[in-house]
Structure 1
Amino acid sequence: MKNKKNRPTDGGGNWMDTYGDMVTLLLTFFIMLFAMSSLNQQKWELFVRSIYPHSNEEVQEQVAINTPLDDTSSKIEGTPDIPETMAEIDIDKLYLTLAERMNDIGIDGVTISRGEDYTFIVFEDKTFFDGDSSILTDQGKTTLDVFCDVISPAQDGVSQINIMAHTAQGNPDRPNNPRTDRMLSAMRAAEVCIFIQEKGIIEPEKLVNISYGQFRPVADNSTREGRTKNRRVEILMIDEGADLHSMNRYYDEYNSGVNADRTVVTGQEANGTGHGFAPASPSADGVSTTMSPLTDSTENASAEPGLSSDGTAEEAGGTVAE
């Protein structure tokens, strides 16, 4: 009789042991992943309701058990996640902040006026430049540093910044040399614009530099005080979403005093408390009177080469711009 070959005695079921071990290991692996993951409350509710559609209490119990204590996904839907350090910028109050900062660094005679949807700033006399010069002074750079620092957080609320430069007519009996007058005015506006652009606080396409030369005076050029007012740099900040108007409209509103209740001047005494800023005091024609004449000793000490003692720019053979 032939010997029969050895056959398995378990009916070929050994593979079940291996399969069972594999399934157990996979289940353990997924349980570990689930335990380490942060659970989204809404997804968990949907999952539980798909299994227990009529058991709302059990859903709440499961969520309470399985949602980590520090899970930020349980916040009310629609609530913005804003860091506490990011305070909302009020564009309407920006002019007060700017006035305070200018006053802190001792920049006097800056008039800041808040209109309906714009802010108009006037820097008089030599805030940025010496007479007959387009080179920013150290004080000018410091002033613009503060300006950029204040404006930077509110850049999204500003659609356009216009920089307007003006000169004074050095000789009231004879107009300035046109080339000198226009070039000086244009270069001053450009220098301020370039400084702001290089700070990177606002998109370059929002910056506009405008030169007016001597042709938009706000006072009489026959007096030193008048020339001081006329020799100025202005900045017009227009709010995002505001309609753009002609420059004449902005100037008319500013000079009319319609925004006097929201106009401040740095360096003036506020309520008799000393150095500070206070509401502007319009003159009869509505133009704010903010600067006081320098004493004779101060004028002589600060006279630049090429300037007379009263600050009038002079050159042989003609009158140049101030």
Structure 2
Amino acid sequence: MARKRKKRTKGGASWMETYSDMVTLLLTFFIMLYAMSTIDAQKYAMIVEAFAKGKEVIVEENMSESETGESEPIEIIESSDEEIDQLYIMLKEYIVENNLSESVEISKSEEYVFIRFSDDITFGGYSNKLNKSGGDILDVLAKGLGLVEDYIEEVIIAGHTAEVEKDKTKIDRKLSTDRANAVLEYLEGKNVISPAKYLAIGYGLYSPIADNSTSEGRAKNRRVEIYISRKGYPISYTNMIKNVINDSNNSKNQENNIDYQSNNVID
């Protein structure tokens, strides 16, 4: 009796099923990637603009469109604690680039930016006319003020002179006031911030930061100081200036510091 031959099973279509499943999965995967990478054009433009202006952007986790079909707004919050630092950085770079560290001092804190100009860079002799070097650095200051006006509470300009024993002209108070006003008027003429934010004070020779008995000390006492307070810090400007001056002196040379508030002057 002849043996029956086994029928061969045909498996030709099996690889086609596997291949089609793989293609379907790949297509699904790429569609998912595309959907994840797609962002609303308006939201993208707002984010780009915010970063270009140096603002902090806070985007809600739910980025989907509302039931009305309109995109949910993105909240853009300006960072107020660093904006005024632009002014400080701009002036600091100018001082370093022009080797003015001996003539211009600048410091900052959470509440203020403080600048001290020595007499040689701003005025000469008994003049209240700005030197060219003084005008140049005030131009930089004015530019910085314009950039951060919204974050400035006030700009106080203080003029100071030195006590000279042989000088009996008694012009110190007026000269210090005139110099402070000269700086104020120069900055105000730039029209960069509201004039209401400026204030000029003339201390005369009654606020020394060094010993008037030496020429070096008198040179330090002849100065113009500018105190720029941050928005939201409406404090007593006179007390703050005195504290800033004393703190600055204490940090630099504690031994030679003269108390700004308790100094007695003898004509």
In the alignment, structure 2 segments of 5+ residues that lack a partner are 1-37, 56-81, 259-266
Query: Which has the bigger relative contact order, CA under 8 A and spacing at least 6?
Result: 1
For the 8 Å contact 1:119–1:236, the answer to whether it is kept is: yes
State whether structure 2 residue 95 is matched by structure 1 residue 102.
Answer: yes
Per-residue deviation, 1:256: 2.6
State whether structure 2 residue 244 is matched by structure 1 residue 250.
Answer: no
Q: For residue 255 of structure 2, what is the aligned residue in structure 1?
A: 284
Q: For residue 90 of structure 1, what is the aligned residue in structure 2?
A: 83
State whether structure 2 residue 110 is matched by structure 1 residue 116.
Answer: yes
Q: Which of 180, 185, 197 is matched with 1:189 structurally?
A: 180
Q: Output the CA distance in 1 between the equivalents of 2:130 and 2:91.
A: 20
CA RMSD of aligned residues (A): 3.0
Per-residue deviation, 1:146: 1.4
Q: For residue 127 of structure 2, what is the aligned residue in structure 1?
A: 133
> Which protein has the larger Cα radius of gyration, Structure 1 or Structure 2?
1
Q: Output the CA distance in 2 between the equivalents of 1:121 and 1:259.
A: 16
Per-residue deviation, 1:130: 0.7
Q: For residue 37 of structure 1, what is the aligned residue in structure 2?
A: none
1:52-86: CA deviation from partner (whole Å, max 9, x where unpaired): xxxxxxxxxxxxxxxxx99844x279x56736543
Question: What pairs up with 1:165-314 in 2 under 5 angstroms?
Answer: 165-171=159-165, 176-178=168-170, 180-257=171-248, 260=251, 281-286=252-257
Q: For residue 150 of structure 1, what is the aligned residue in structure 2?
A: 144
Question: What pairs up with 1:57-68 in 2 under 5 angstroms?
Answer: none
For the 8 Å contact 1:167–1:232, the answer to whether it is kept is: yes
For the 8 Å contact 2:146–2:193, the answer to whether it is kept is: yes
1:247-282: CA deviation from partner (whole Å, max 9, x where unpaired): 12332243134995xxxxxxxxxxxxxxxxxxxx33
Deviates more, 1:81-90 or 1:227-236: 81-90
Per-residue deviation, 1:92: 4.1
Q: Output the CA distance in 1 between the equivalents of 2:40 and 2:189.
A: 43
Identical-pair percentage: 33
Per-residue deviation, 1:94: 3.9
Q: For residue 8 of structure 2, what is the aligned residue in structure 1?
A: none
Q: Output the CA distance in 2 between the equivalents of 1:258 and 1:116.
A: 19
In the alignment, structure 1 segments of 5+ residues that lack a partner are 1-68, 261-280, 288-318
Runs in 1 of length 4+ with deviation above 4 angstroms? 69-72, 257-260
Question: What pairs up with 1:41-60 in 2 under 5 angstroms?
Answer: none
For the 8 Å contact 1:152–1:202, the answer to whether it is kept is: yes
Q: For residue 10 of structure 2, what is the aligned residue in structure 1?
A: none
Task: Give the letter for the 2:54 counterpart.
Answer: A
Per-residue deviation, 1:100: 1.5
The TM-score normalised by the length of structure 2 is 0.64
For the 8 Å contact 1:257–1:286, the answer to whether it is kept is: no
Per-residue deviation, 1:167: 0.8
Q: Output the CA distance in 2 between the equivalents of 1:82 and 1:286.
A: 49
For the 8 Å contact 2:156–2:237, the answer to whether it is kept is: no
Task: Give the letter for the 2:114 counterpart.
Answer: F
Task: Give the letter for the 1:251 counterpart.
Answer: K
The TM-score normalised by the length of structure 1 is 0.54
Distance 1:238-1:259 versus aligned 2 partners, 3 A rule? farther
Task: Give the letter for the 1:150 counterpart.
Answer: G
